[in-house]
Amino acid sequence: QIAESLKMIITQRLIKKKDGTGRVAAFEILTCTPPIKNLIREAKVHQIPSVMQTSQKDGMVTMEKSIEILTQSGAITGAIE
């Protein structure tokens, strides 16, 4: 089963920098912890984002949080194209 094979999923999105000099990566990290594996096995993948939000201690980062951090640091404007 895929739930037992997965260890981690990382995605990235390149976003234009505020100063126009290039792009910066916003990323999402999903660590396949036992609760995540259970959600995958039970086909409840729609619940994964809420588990990710409460599992930052396990190294998980949502794309929304990554974009928020980049916006607060001034790297991007927050308006994503």
* Domain edges within the chain: 2-72
Question: What pLDDT does residue 3 have?
Answer: 87
Question: What single string gives the DSSP state of each residue in the chain?
Answer: -HHHH--EEEEEEEEE-TTSS-EEEEEEEEE--HHHHHHHHTT-GGGHHHHHHT-GGGT-B-HHHHHHHHHHTTSS-S---
Q: Is the pLDDT of residue 12 over 90?
A: yes
Each residue's pLDDT tens digit, 13-54: 999 999 999 999 999 999 999 999 999 999 999 999 999 999
pTM of the model: 0.82
